[in-house]
Every structure is written in C-alpha cells, then in structure tokens.
Amino acid sequence: MSELTIWTLDWVPEGPRGFVRDLRLRWACEEAGLAYAVRTIPFDGRETNHLAQQPFGQVPFLEDGGLEMFESGAGLLHLARKSDRLMPRDPAGEAATVQWTIAALNSIEMVTVPWWFLEISGAKNDGLTGWMGTRLGHMERVLGEQEWLAAGRFTVADLLMADVLRVAKVRSFGDRPATEAYVARVTDRPAFKKARADQLAHFEAADRKRAGPRSS
C-alpha cells in the first residue's frame, strides 16, 4: 500500500495553531488507522511557492502514491473511501455521509469563516451575523434530534462538521447546548486529541528551529 503524505506549512504564528486544516486529514488518518507522513512547504512565500500542487496557495494537499489532490474536503472523502470507520459502505449510509460532509463545507463553513474573519478584523459584517445565526440554528435543531449526522454513528461528516463548529468565536455565538455537547463529544475522541497534539508539536518544533541556536 502506498504511503499517504499530508502536506502543510513548516510554521505558522500561534493564532492558527490547532486549526490549520492539515489537522482534518491527520485526524481522519488517525481514526481510520491509516499510516501517513507529514511534509512541509515554507511559510515564507506560501502564496506562490506551491501553486502546482494547490492553485490557491493554501494547505493542506494530499498525496497517495501517484495521486495528488487539494482541498481538505476532497482529501477527507478520499480517505473515507479507504476505511468504513469514516464512511459506511451501504449506499444509504454513504450518501448521508457525503451530503453532510458537503453541508459542513457549503452550508456552514462558507458562512462561519467570513463571519469570523470580519469579527476579528472589526469590519462591518454586512448581514453575515444574521445569516450565520440562522444556519447555526438549523444545526442546533438537527443536533438536538440525533447524536450523529449520518448512519447512526461517527463518520467523516462528524469530523468535518465538528472541526468547523469548534472555532472558539463560533462556539460562543449564542446559546446552543446541543451543538456545544456535539462539539465536545466529537473532539473528545482520542484520534482528534492525537492529531491536534501532533500539529501543535510540529509548529512548536518549528519555533525552535526558527529561533536558532542560543548564544552562550
């Protein structure tokens, strides 16, 4: 079996750590028991230094033998096809998993990310706050009625949805006890804890490397 390689940045500032999206792919591999390696591209020049692999200059991108792909959602669905721990093999379970995976990206993250960016930048939100409140309200209703999004168990859809919803500002936006319990439950999984710890350790090691040897 070919080795999976997850590409990320060699370093990022403290703020994004624990949220850089290579964590999604690390987490999926940990859940599925898939062996993987992590390789890096330089943070400096990141906008243009890997456009052949990622046309928007972002991370992560994934290699699987001779196959290469970008976008974390695409990588997650690729990994899910390798393990029924991430996606059931029956047609109904697979369809439900795929639809909720896409929903996490298209219906939730496409609202929460620009809202979060405008919040931290202090810019006018142009109605995004109300839109996000509506979307999160729908998710609160869904999560109040069911423990998992698809197939009655944890799937890659839960991995992605929880990763979108765990952003601190999003979690603190309104009173949504079912959503909060869901995020806490999913991120309490050992695979998430290991993936997050490994990512943090990766960037902490980069801090030491960038600092260089201390003078005596």
The pLDDT assigned to 205 comes to 97
Cα–Cα distance measured from residue 80 to residue 70, given in angstroms and rounded to the nearest whole number: 15
Mean pLDDT of 10-14: 97
Judge residue 178's burial from the number of C-beta atoms within 10 Å of its C-beta, 0-12 exposed, 13-18 middle, 19 or more buried: middle
**Parts of the chain belonging to CATH 1.20.1050.10:** 91-189
The pLDDT assigned to 214 comes to 64
**Parts of the chain belonging to CATH 3.40.30.10:** 4-84+191-211
Residues facing residue 36 across a β-bridge: 4
Cα–Cα distance measured from residue 181 to residue 143, given in angstroms and rounded to the nearest whole number: 9
CATH number of 4-84+191-211: 3.40.30.10
Of 89, 95, 62, the C-alpha closest to 76 is: 62
Mean of per-residue pLDDT scores for the chain? 95
CATH number of 91-189: 1.20.1050.10
Mean pLDDT of 5-23: 97
pLDDT, tens only, 154-165:
999 999 999 999
Mean pLDDT of 7-23: 97
pLDDT, tens only, 118-154:
888 888 777 899 999 999 999 999 999 999 999 999 9
Residue labelled with tokens 């970008």? 70
